[in-house]
Structure 1
Amino acid sequence: MIDFLFLDVGICYSCKKEEIYKYHLCQKCLDKLDYRGNSFKLSDNICYSLYFYNDFMKKLIADYKFNRNTCLKDVFSDMLYSFLVDNDLTDFDYILASPSSRKTVNKRGFDHIKLIVDSFSDKLEIKKLDEFKKVKNTKSQHTLNRFERSENLKGAFSLDKDINGSRILLIDDLITTGNTALEIIKELKKRGASEVVTLAICSERSVN
């Protein structure tokens, strides 16, 4: 895994030019983000989203996932951690990073959501649900229509663990249709979870 360790101390992790203001970003880069702090329902399950998926957020996520600018994990983890603490969303039995398949992790070189969650889960003192796996190599969701997206994810996730009565915090990077989160929630509730709350870095839903 390649990490951008050459960054100057105190310099923005995105533009690599200006001084850090917050979340390892400078004021100029932070101002390009569209903060929402939304909450909405995925079926009967609550979902929180921090930012709207605008062009700058799209660039940040792509730089992290596909250009291996893994220092950006600190940007996203600090955003998520601050939101959870500020909104008193810390009373969970398990925290789950939305998993990638083994094929995707091998190709990318790292599990991008797990890397983010690992950066703050210990501070929250919430156990990680590492037993939850993606067992099916699915097609990229953005290439499919609404029906195909739902079919693509059927049987994609598996958990060999009794979590009866547990409250789960699910972390993801992006919510679009919500199909991925819903399929994960379905498997978690099948295994006995009493509640699953989703928190995403961003969403295409422009709810204020």
Structure 2
Amino acid sequence: MGRAIGSLDWTPEYIVPVPMKPSQARNRFEQLLQFGANHFDEDIEVALDGLGCIKEIENYKQKNPLERAEAIKGAFTSDFTWNGAKILLIDDVHTTGGTTNECVRVLTANGAGEVRVMTLAKDQRVFARKTCPACSRSMKIRVNHTTNVKFWGCSGYPTYCQNTEDSGT
């Protein structure tokens, strides 16, 4: 991550991670950003407390994009006055953009001049890889929309391959 930030053609003044939920004590980006700081410009300040989360959102991952965008409104706050600063917002996963959009809105409302976003993954499926034992296609997490139960389904499911497995969640 540090090398990626160091290779940007744009230099932020601050790096601000998407904050943890109020129920979580550990900032998942702290060690990563401290280690990464060795690879980017020393004038870049890491502001781990640049944003705060003040609202728990139940079942956020199960919501569709519109429900997420509505639920996340008002979830973040910033005690900083950014004075036109360039900010790089860091998030782990960019699924629908609801979280990052709300964080950008809060940063801008508090005076950020420009906010760009860097995420580590497009969605959470990249963190779990599984190969279908029946046909060797990749498998992915699917949801039974009737029961709202998650399961692993072959990427060929249901047309080419019927193989499914319990997701364990």
Q: What is the TM-score normalised by the length of structure 1? A: 0.53
Residue 103 of structure 1 aligns to a residue whose secondary structure is coil
In the TM superposition, residue 101 of structure 1 has moved relative to its aligned partner by 1.9
Read off the aligned partner of 1:127 and give its amino acid letter: E
- Structure 1 position 115 matched with structure 2 position 115: no
CA distance in 1, matches of 2:18, 2:30: 8
**Identity over aligned residues, as a percent?**
29
* Larger RCO: 1 or 2 (CA < 8 Å, sep 6+): 1
Q: Determine which structure has more spread, i.e. the larger CA radius of gyration.
A: 2
**Which residue does 2:87 correspond to in 1?**
168
- Structure 1 position 101 matched with structure 2 position 17: no
Read off the aligned partner of 1:153 and give its amino acid letter: I
Deviations 1:148-199 (A, max 9, x none): 1012111110011211210001111110111100000000000111100101
**Which residue does 2:8 correspond to in 1?**
87
> Is the contact made by 1:98 and 1:114 (CA closer than 8 Å) also made in structure 2?
no
Stretches of structure 1 that go unaligned for 5 or more consecutive residues are 1-79
Stretches of structure 2 that go unaligned for 5 or more consecutive residues are 124-169
In the TM superposition, residue 123 of structure 1 has moved relative to its aligned partner by 4.5
CA distance in 1, matches of 2:50, 2:7: 29
**Which residue does 1:135 correspond to in 2?**
54
CA distance in 1, matches of 2:91, 2:59: 15
In the TM superposition, residue 87 of structure 1 has moved relative to its aligned partner by 3.3
In the TM superposition, residue 88 of structure 1 has moved relative to its aligned partner by 3.7
CA distance in 2, matches of 1:85, 1:131: 20
After superposition, the Cα gap between the structure-2 partners of 1:161 and 1:84, relative to the gap in structure 1 and judged at 3 Å, is closer
Read off the aligned partner of 2:35 and give its amino acid letter: S
> Is the contact made by 1:99 and 1:114 (CA closer than 8 Å) also made in structure 2?
no
> Is the contact made by 2:2 and 2:35 (CA closer than 8 Å) also made in structure 1?
no
Larger proportion of helix: 1
Read off the aligned partner of 1:120 and give its amino acid letter: G
In the TM superposition, residue 141 of structure 1 has moved relative to its aligned partner by 2.7
**What is the total number of aligned residue pairs between the two structures?**
120
The Cα RMSD (Å) is 1.8
Residue 83 of structure 1 aligns to a residue whose secondary structure is helix
**Which residue does 1:24 correspond to in 2?**
none
Residue 138 of structure 1 aligns to a residue whose secondary structure is coil
